[in-house]
Amino acid sequence: MKFFDELYEQTGFQFDRSVNIYYLIRDGYHFGMSFNGSQYYLMSVVASEKGFPDLKALKDHFKPIRSIKSVATQGYRVIYVIRPSLKQTKLIENIREALDQILEYYQNNGYHNCCEVCGKVCDSGLYMVGGQVRFLCDEDYLDLSQRVLQRNEEISQMQGSLLTGLVGAFLGSLIGVVAIILFGQIGFVSALSGVIMGVCAIRGYEILGKKVSVLGLILTCLIMLGMCYLANRIDWSITVARALDWNFFDAFRLCEEVCRWSEVIDSYFASLAQVVLFTLVGAAPSIANAIKGTKNLTITSVINKADKGEEE
């Protein structure tokens, strides 16, 4: 039997494919469950009589229960890590047992389902907002939707400028050049200076250009690569100038020839390749963030009024 089907049969958890989340309503409590590649995280949002759930009491209670590997809280949110198992039936059994234990604990200790923002005890809805799970009351859902709408509008109206963006990328890459030369001269690994180059150039583009574009990012990458070449050449020229007692400008002009004569040209290009590699490593997450930052946020309702009506 397929995992989804067996999980549904044993626990009632349903899977929302559009946002990759499992959800369940049982005895008035709402649960969400997500999988991060190795572990299942079970989430619920509950209030005790005193307000926030009591983490210490939860930890003490669930410690001897094998199916729950660990418990953590974030405000009203309680997150349980399900003990993993390679066997599907065992894993589902763990989820089922964890659920039963959690429900029993909530019912015996005066915990009620609530909204994670205001803590109001209610049938909070479960929403996915830009890839994150949120349990919200109707008022906070409306409030959040309005803010998301406003943010999306602001982003779509934001004017990006390619020219100022490239000026920013150039200025940012100068920081990278300084790092590559300084670290090169003290004989430090070029990994960190490459990462600095990648991060600063993209951030520079974002700060001055505001909204990133694909063309802007491609040109920024070309600027970074050019600056890597320049920085590496300056770094080696300083070394050449010192070794031969030349002035820097002659050394810069003849740098590659000198490296060829003295048979260190392979190391020269190897250090360039290393800087470029780490620049790309540093730039990749910054590029991903820059693109994500200007994307529209979406809200998907996983458990909404209609679902609640059917279940009850």
Which residues would be at the binding site for Zn ion (CB under 5 A)? 115, 117-118, 137, 140
Least distance between Zn ion and beta carbon 154 (Å): 24
Q: Return the number of other C-beta atoms located less than 10 Å from residue 147's C-beta.
A: 11
Q: State the residue number with the nearest CB to Zn ion.
A: 115
Alpha helices in the chain (DSSP H): 3-11, 55-62, 88-108, 138-157, 162-185, 190-209, 214-244, 248-261, 265-293, 305-311
243, amino acid identity: A
Task: Identify the DSSP state of 297.
Answer: P
Q: How far is the CB of 132 from Zn ion (least distance, A)?
A: 16
Minimum separation from the CB atom of position 140 to Zn ion (A): 4
- For residues 135 and 252, which CB has a smaller minimum distance to Zn ion in the complex? 135
| Nearer CB in complex with Zn ion: 134/211 | 134
The rounded distance, in Å, linking the Cα atoms of 26 and 265 is: 69
Strand-pair partners of 229? none
What are the residues whose beta carbons fall under 8 Å from the beta carbon of 266, sequence distance 6 or more?
Answer: none
* Least distance (Å) between residue 117 CB and Zn ion: 4
Six token digits for residue 63: 């410690």
Tell me how far apart the alpha carbons of residues 241 and 185 are, in angstroms, rounded to a whole number. Answer: 12
| Pair 121, 113: CB distance under 8 Å | yes
Residue among 53 and 168 whose Cβ is closer to Zn ion = 53
68, with CB counted inside 10 A (0-12, 13-18, 19+), is buried
DSSP letters spanning 62-115: HTT-TTEEEEEEETTEEEEEEPP-SSHHHHHHHHHHHHHHHHHHHHHTT-EEB-
Quote the least distance from Cβ 124 to Zn ion, whole Å.
7
* CA gap 35, 25 in Å, rounded: 18
CB of 31 to Zn ion, least distance (A): 18
Minimum Å gap between C-beta 309 and Zn ion is 20
Closer residue to Zn ion, CB minimum distance, 138 or 256: 138
Q: Which residue, among 54, 31, 211, has the nearest Cα to 126 in the 3D structure?
A: 31
* Of residues 120 and 210, the one with the C-beta less far from Zn ion: 120
Smaller CB separation from Zn ion, 115 or 196? 115
Q: Which is nearer to Zn ion, 25 or 114 (CB)?
A: 114
Q: Which residue has the tokens 């700060």?
A: 207
DSSP assigned state of 159: P
Q: How far is the CB of 214 from Zn ion (least distance, A)?
A: 39
